[in-house]
Structure 1
Amino acid sequence: MNNFENALKHSDPVILDGGLATQLESMGFDIDGALWSAKLLASNPRAIVDAHRAYLDAGADCIISASYQASREGFALIGKTPEEADALIASSVALALNARQEFMTENTATDRAPIVAASVGPYGATQNDGSEYTGVYNIGVDELRAFHQQRLMLLDQTCADVLAVETIPNAVEAEVLAGLLNDVDTPAWISFSCRNGKELSDGTPLAEVTEQFAEHSRVYAVGVNCTAPEFISPLISILKNAAPKKKIVVYPNSGEFYHSHDNSWSGMACDFDNAFDVAAWQKAGVKFIGGCCRTGPNNIAAIRARL
C-alpha cells in the first residue's frame, strides 16, 4: 500500500500543493513556451525540487510533478530525442521524490510521508495555445490516444504514488483516458477543467463525463481543477451524485483569466479567504483540497491552517 492508498484509509483531508509554475515564477524563472515548467527539467532541475519543498514546508500533504506540459513533441523543440524526452519526463517524479526525502529527513517528527503525484496533463497543455481552457483540439481520436498512451505508460512505470490526470477539458479526451487508465498499475485520480458550475470547458455536462469513472477500478477520485473557485460548490454536488463511491478532489485557480496569445492573466484574483471556502468543501465530502494556477505556498499554508 503506497502513501496515496494509505491516505484513503484516514478521515483527514489531504492538502494538495498549489501552482508549480506560480512558485517557479515567484522564484524568478521565465517559464514561457510550450514546455512551461517542464523546461526546467532540462535546464534547472534543482529549481523544481526547491519549488516542491516550498509547498511541503507550507503544509502540503501532496506534491504534483512537473510533467503537466511535458511531451516528446515539446522537448523536440529544444533538441531532445524521444529517449531523452522520456528520461526527462520520468525525472519529474524523481525530483518530487527527492523533495519528499529532503523534507522527511529534516522533519523526522512527521508521521506520514507526503504523497507524490505524477501529473498527466491534457493534450491541450502541450500546445501552448490555451486549448486546455477551451477543450477545442485539432486532433483525431487515434492521435489523442497515442499521445496519452505513451506518456501515461511512462509515468505509470515511475515510483509515483498516484497519477494525477488533470485539467481535462473535453469529453472525447476523458473517454480516451478512461480506456487507457484500465491498463495502469498506479492508482489515479481524474479532474476536469470547468467553465461554469455544471459544464466542462467544452460545454459537456460534468455529470455525463464523470459517470464513466463511477465504477472505474483504477480511478480512486474524481474532481475539478484550474476552475474558478466560485463554481466549486455546485461542481462538488455533481461529482458526488455522478460517482458516489469515489473520493472528491478540488484544486481551483485564483479566479483570474488566462490569455494564451501572450501568456498573461487578467481580472481580479479572488478574495482567497472567502472564495476558498475549504471548510465547507471538506464538510461537503471533499478529500483532496489544494490550489492550481496563481495560487502559491502562502495559500496552501492558509488552507492547512483552516483544516
Structure 2
Amino acid sequence: MLGVIRQALTAQSPLIVDGAMASELEHRGVDTANALWSATALIDSPQLVRDVHEAYFQAGANIAITDTYQANIPAFEKAGLTTGEAEHLIGTAVSVALDAREHYRHHLANAGNGLSDDSFLDDARPLLVAGSVGPYGAFLADGSEYTGSYHLSHTAYQDFHRRRMQILSDSGIDLFAFETMPNIGEVQALIDLLSAEFPDREAWVSFSLGDSGHLCDGTALETAAAIADACPQISAIGVNCVQPELVTAAIGHIAAVTAKPIIVYPNNGDVYHPDTKTWTRCAGALSLSNMAPRWVEAGAMLIGGCCRTSPADIYHLAKAVHQ
C-alpha cells in the first residue's frame, strides 16, 4: 500500500510545500520575537494561522505544515500556561490547518475551473497537512537548531517529543514532519519513537546543515540520510531552513544513499540572529523559483520554502516547476 507521500506524488509531481509561518504572521500584526515564536499566535490569534495556511494553498502548496515547530508542552508551560492549555493549543494548530484546507476546497468547488489559469492549481490536486515536530533545539530558543550543540539521552529526547506527537496524530494530521533536525542522536530517537509507538504513521525527515554535506552537529549528510532510509515509515528525506545555495549539492548526497523522495525547503537566504530574534536581509540571495527547476532535475520531488519565504514565493516556485 502506498504511503500518503507516494500516493500524492502519483497525482502531482513535484509536490509543493508551503512557506514561512512566522514572517506571514508578523505581516498580520503578530509579535513573534519571543521564545514561542510563531506558536504565540495559537494563544490569541489562531484565525490568523488559518489564514496563512489558506494563503499557501491558494498559492499552489500541496502541503501545509502545522504551526507546531515551536509549540511543545514545556515551551507553553514556561510561558505560564497549564499542561492542559498547552495540549489544547497543539490540537488547535492542527484544527486550523485542517480548516484552511477544507475552506480552500470549498472555495474551489464553488468557483469551478474558472478560479485560475494555472494548471497546477487544479481542484483535484492533493492537499496534505504535515504535523511539524521541531527539534529540542527549537525549545531552547537560542538558535540551537542551527548548531546541534545540545545532547540529551535517547529516552529524554523521546520523552520530550512523545506527547506533542500523540496530539498531532490524534488531531488528524496526514503525516509527521521531523524538520530542521541538526543532531543525529535526536533523529535516531525520533525514528525509534515513530516505529515503536506510531506504527501506522509516516514522517519525513529534513535536516539542518552546517554545509552541503554535513548536519550542524558534523554528521555526514549521507550517514544521516542512510539512517532515515532504513526506517520504512520515513517516506521522504531532505533538508530545510538552509541557504538556497547549499541545496543542489545536498540533494546529491541524499540521492547517493536513498531511492525515497527527496524534500527540500530552504529559507530565502536571510541571516537569523537568535540573540535578538531578528533577521539581516541578504540582497543577493538566490531566487527559489529560479533554482527550483534545477532541484527537480537533481532529484527533489517535494519543494517549498522555509523562513522568510511568502505565498508569492511559493506561487512563483510552483509555476516554475509545473509550467
Report if TM-score (shorter chain) is over 0.5: yes
- Structure 2 residue 243 is matched with structure 1 residue 228: yes
- Structure 1 position 207, deviation (Å): 0.7
Query: 1:277 matched to which residue of 2?
Result: 291
| Structure 1 CA distance for aligned equivalents of residues 185 and 95 of structure 2 | 31
| Structure 2 CA distance for aligned equivalents of residues 8 and 275 of structure 1 | 20
| Structure 2 CA distance for aligned equivalents of residues 55 and 269 of structure 1 | 24
Q: Which residue of the other structure, out of 188, 201, 210, is the alignment partner of 1:195?
A: 210
| Structure 2 CA distance for aligned equivalents of residues 58 and 159 of structure 1 | 23
Deviations 1:79-123 (A, max 9, x none): 322122112112211110000111011112401341111111111
Check the 8 A contact 2:12/2:126 in 1, yes or no.
no
Comparing 218-227 and 144-153, the one that deviates more = 144-153
- Structure 2 residue 160 is matched with structure 1 residue 151: no
Please provide the CA RMSD for this pair: 1.8
- Structure 1 position 32, deviation (Å): 1.6
The TM-score, its normalising length taken from structure 2, stands at 0.90
Check the 8 A contact 1:135/1:169 in 2, yes or no.
yes
Query: 2:313 matched to which residue of 1?
Result: 299
Question: Secondary structure, in 3 states, of the residue corresponding to 1:268?
Answer: coil
- Structure 1 position 181, deviation (Å): 1.6
- Structure 2 residue 141 is matched with structure 1 residue 128: yes
- Structure 2 residue 99 is matched with structure 1 residue 98: yes
Change (3 A) 1:276 1:259: farther
Q: Counterpart amino acid of 1:74? A: A
Change (3 A) 1:2 1:86: farther
| Structure 1 CA distance for aligned equivalents of residues 65 and 301 of structure 2 | 16
| Structure 2 CA distance for aligned equivalents of residues 127 and 274 of structure 1 | 29
Question: Secondary structure, in 3 states, of the residue corresponding to 2:23?
Answer: helix
Query: 1:252 matched to which residue of 2?
Result: 266
Question: Secondary structure, in 3 states, of the residue corresponding to 2:217?
Answer: coil
Check the 8 A contact 1:229/1:275 in 2, yes or no.
no
| Structure 2 CA distance for aligned equivalents of residues 209 and 133 of structure 1 | 16
Check the 8 A contact 1:254/1:270 in 2, yes or no.
no
| Structure 2 CA distance for aligned equivalents of residues 4 and 103 of structure 1 | 20
- Structure 1 position 124, deviation (Å): 0.8
Change (3 A) 1:46 1:145: same
Q: Counterpart amino acid of 2:236? A: A
Check the 8 A contact 2:182/2:215 in 1, yes or no.
yes
- Structure 1 position 221, deviation (Å): 0.3
- Structure 1 position 272, deviation (Å): 4.0
| Structure 2 CA distance for aligned equivalents of residues 84 and 76 of structure 1 | 9
Check the 8 A contact 1:71/1:151 in 2, yes or no.
yes
Comparing 77-86 and 119-128, the one that deviates more = 77-86
- Structure 2 residue 187 is matched with structure 1 residue 186: no
Deviations 1:95-154 (A, max 9, x none): 100001110111124013411111111111111111011101154433222101222222
| Structure 2 CA distance for aligned equivalents of residues 6 and 274 of structure 1 | 25
The TM-score, its normalising length taken from structure 1, stands at 0.94
- Structure 2 residue 177 is matched with structure 1 residue 176: no
Query: 2:231 matched to which residue of 1?
Result: 216
| Structure 1 CA distance for aligned equivalents of residues 162 and 284 of structure 2 | 36
Check the 8 A contact 1:160/1:186 in 2, yes or no.
no
Q: Which residue of the other structure, out of 160, 163, 174, is the alignment partner of 1:161?
A: 174
| Structure 1 CA distance for aligned equivalents of residues 37 and 139 of structure 2 | 9
Query: 1:15 matched to which residue of 2?
Result: 16
Deviations 1:199-220 (A, max 9, x none): 1111111111111121311110
Q: Counterpart amino acid of 1:250? A: V
Change (3 A) 1:151 1:61: same
